[in-house]
Amino acid sequence: MTNKAVFLDRDGVINVDHGYVYRKEDFEFVDGIFEACRHFQKQGYLLIVVTNQSGIARGMYSEAQFQELTDWMVERFKEQDVTITKVYHCPHHPDFGPADERDCDCRKPKPGMILRGIEEFELEPKLCLMVGDKVSDMSAAESADLGTGILLNDEVEKLSEGNRFCRINNLKQLLTPPEGVCNCPEES
């Protein structure tokens, strides 16, 4: 069993973030996601999705609708020879839903979903990566003590100094990152 994983945010990394996507008709895969995942899978990484889904707490869609879309998404990955090991989601929001569920440990930037993955799959955090499109993804990765965080957008200025994170403009850069942009781990 492998002891390393790539944690992937969903909206903005796996699919284009159209805002509260819960129907397959609105789900558009980000260009390069299948190739990037196959690349990491060949290097022995598990692929684990960690996604905030506050649309559930907001009453925009149900857990069942989220799960139906998740099952459909995982099947599309299988068709591309990619295995998604697990999908963790946070259905909470600090301003919506039942009061006793608003202060959770799973909503990024808190590391709860990542920590559950580390424990469930007996992962070595320093060998793991997080690919996200928001600073909150990188904050969760940093709190979980992951080895590398890869930010898929231009918010790099907002990251703290001295961290282990880098920025890319598109997922294809994960296959052959341009020099100086990302010091992502190679095959180990």
Catalytic site positions: 9, 11
* Cβ 12 vs Cβ 53: under 8 Å: no
What are the DSSP calls for 51-81, one per residue?
EE-HHHHTTSS-HHHHHHHHHHHHHHHHHTT
Cα–Cα distance for residue pair 128/149, rounded to 1 Å: 9
Query: Nearest 5°: phi and psi at 139?
Result: -65, -40
Query: Nearest 5°: phi and psi at 34?
Result: -70, -40
| HEC assignment per residue over 147-188 | CEEEEECCHHHHCCCCCCEEEECCHHHHCCCCCCCCCCCCCC
Report the amino acid identity of residue 140. A
